[in-house]
Amino acid sequence: MPGSKLRAPRQGASIVEPPAATLVAREVDEHPLTLVVAPAGSGKTTAVAWWAGATERWLPRWLRLDPEDDGASALAASLFHVLRAGDPAGAPRLEHVLAAHPPAGVRQLATALVNDLADQPGVALILDDLHSLRSDDAVELLDAVLDHLPTGVRIVATSRTEPRLSLARRRVRGELGELRIDDLRLDSATVREMLDRAGVGSRASADRIVELSGGWAAAVRLAVMRSADDPHGGGPARRFTGQGGDREIHEFFAQEVVADLPTDLRAFLLDTSVLSDLTPYSCAVVTGRDDALRLLDEVLRRDLFVTLFDGSEPMVRYHDLFRGFLRERLELERTPAERRELHRRAASCSAPGDAIGHLLEAGEADDAAALVCDAGRAHLAGVGPRVPTAWLEKLPGAVIDGHPWLALLSALEHLAHARMPQARAELEPLRATFRHDGDDQGAIHSGLFLLEAFLATGDVEGADRLLGELLSENLEPPERMTALVSRLWFDFFAMDWPGISAGLTEAFELAATSGSEDVSGRLALGFGTELLFSDHGPEWLVQRCGELTARRDDLTNPARAALDVVKAAGSLLAGRMGDTRDALASAAAVSRELGASVGATS
Residue range 339-368, pLDDT digits in tens: 999 999 999 999 898 999 999 999 999 999
* Averaged pLDDT for residues 431-445: 93
Q: What is the CATH number of the domain that holds 49?
A: 3.40.50.300
**Which segment of 71-80, 290-299, 415-424, 552-561 scores lowest on mean pLDDT?**
552-561
Residue among 184, 261, 195, 192 nearest 218 (CA): 184
Residue 251: pLDDT above 50? yes
Residue range 108-149, pLDDT digits in tens: 999 999 999 999 999 999 999 999 999 999 999 999 999 999
**Would you say residue 393 lies in a domain?**
no
| Percent of the chain's residues with pLDDT above 70 | 91
In this structure, how many other beta carbons lie within 10 angstroms of the beta carbon of residue 367? Answer: 16
**Would you say residue 359 lies in a domain?**
no
pLDDT confidence of residue 534? 84
In this structure, how many other beta carbons lie within 10 angstroms of the beta carbon of residue 430? Answer: 23
**Listed residues 243, 275, 310: the one ending a domain:** 243
**Would you say residue 64 lies in a domain?**
yes
Residue range 569-580, pLDDT digits in tens: 888 888 889 989
Find all residues with CB under 8 Å of 452, minimum gap 6, and list them. 415, 423, 486
- In whole angstroms, what is the distance from residue 570 CA to residue 525 CA? 17
**Would you say residue 319 lies in a domain?**
no
Give yes or no: residues 161 and 14 share one domain.
yes
Give yes or no: residues 210 and 122 share one domain.
no
Give yes or no: residues 68 and 104 share one domain.
yes
**Would you say residue 260 lies in a domain?**
no
Residue range 318-341, pLDDT digits in tens: 888 789 899 999 999 999 999 999
Give yes or no: residues 130 and 200 share one domain.
no
**Amino acid identity for residue 368 in this structure:** A
599 vs 426 pLDDT, higher one = 426
Q: Is 496 helix (H, G, I), strand (E, B) or coil?
A: coil
Residue 387: pLDDT above 90? no
Edge-to-edge strand list for the sheet holding 306-309: 9-10, 306-309, 315-318
**Would you say residue 478 lies in a domain?**
no
In this structure, how many other beta carbons lie within 10 angstroms of the beta carbon of residue 249? Answer: 21
**Listed residues 160, 184, 208: the one ending a domain:** 184
Q: How many CA atoms lie within 13 A of 168 on its CB side?
A: 1
The residue segments making up the domain with residue 42 are: 3-184
Give yes or no: residues 195 and 156 share one domain.
no
Residue range 171-205, pLDDT digits in tens: 999 999 999 988 998 999 998 888 888 777 665 68
Give yes or no: residues 173 and 192 share one domain.
no
Give yes or no: residues 112 and 239 share one domain.
no
- In whole angstroms, what is the distance from residue 493 CA to residue 463 CA? 13
Give yes or no: residues 219 and 174 share one domain.
no
Residue 560: pLDDT above 90? no
**Would you say residue 462 lies in a domain?**
no
CA distances to 491, 497, 551 from 484, rounded to whole Å, are: 10, 15, 21
Give yes or no: residues 78 and 218 share one domain.
no
Give yes or no: residues 526 and 541 share one domain.
yes
In this structure, how many other beta carbons lie within 10 angstroms of the beta carbon of residue 468? Answer: 11
pLDDT confidence of residue 228? 64
Q: What is the DSSP letter of 256?
A: I
| Percent of the chain's residues with pLDDT above 90 | 49
**Listed residues 184, 199, 225: the one ending a domain:** 184
Torsion of CA 512, 515, 520, 522, to 10 degrees: -130
pLDDT confidence of residue 546? 83
Residue among 87, 6, 84, 85 nearest 351 (CA): 6
Contact at 8 Å (CB) between 493 and 530?
Answer: no
Give yes or no: residues 168 and 52 share one domain.
yes
- In whole angstroms, what is the distance from residue 413 CA to residue 76 CA? 17
In this prediction the pTM is 0.71
Instruction: Give the chain's domain count.
Output: 3
- Average pLDDT score, the chain: 86
**Would you say residue 557 lies in a domain?**
yes
Give yes or no: residues 223 and 91 share one domain.
no
243: confidence class by pLDDT, cuts 50, 70, 90: very low
